[in-house]
Structure 1
Amino acid sequence: MRISYNKLWKILIDKDMKRKDLQEIAGISSASVAKLGKGDNITTDVLLRICEALDCTIDDILDTIKDE
């Protein structure tokens, strides 16, 4: 099973935001944004900061995808 952050990227598009904007408003590092871009594992602390900054829940920014 893996995690997809496609929902997060859609939210950013809808809000006319760039990844750099997300980094600044959520107070996360560029390394964390890069991990998100690659679909790598990220700490729940970072996910919660993103949710707080975007006023959403974790379900709104990620999906779990079953490996085939």
Structure 2
Amino acid sequence: MKVEFNRLFEKLKAEGITQKQFRDSVGIGGTTFKKLRGNESITTETICKVCDYFHCMPDEIMEFIPDTDYIEKQKAKEEVQAQIDQLQAKLKNL
């Protein structure tokens, strides 16, 4: 799964806020801002600061995009968990 912050930059543009004004107002550094631009991982603290600034929810500034094989991975994970549960049950009976 990946996260994109395109909604944040659309919001900045729509409200006429420059990137520098935004960084200064929110109190985030250049490195963190670069991570936002590159859709990289940031802290939940940063997400909270941005949401506080805009008085919005996270889904208004970011979008979660599942991996193309997300459903397949979920099924495989469920199968492995079922196997683990069966083995743990057997272990208890020994």
Residue 59 of structure 2: aligned partner: 59
Question: Identity across aligned pairs (percent)?
Answer: 26
CA deviation string 1:36-56 (max 9, x = no partner) = 000000000011001111121
Residue 7 of structure 2: aligned partner: 7
Residue 38 of structure 2: aligned partner: 38
Q: Which runs of no fewer than 5 residues in structure 2 stay unpaired?
A: 69-94
Q: TM-score, normalized by length of structure 2?
A: 0.68
Aligned Cα root-mean-square deviation (Å): 0.9
CA deviation string 1:16-44 (max 9, x = no partner) = 11221111110111111000000000000
Q: TM-score, normalized by length of structure 1?
A: 0.92
Equivalent pairs, count? 68
CA distance in 2, matches of 1:55, 1:8: 13
Q: Which has the higher helix share?
A: 2
CA distance in 2, matches of 1:23, 1:57: 19
Larger radius of gyration: 2
CA distance in 2, matches of 1:19, 1:9: 9
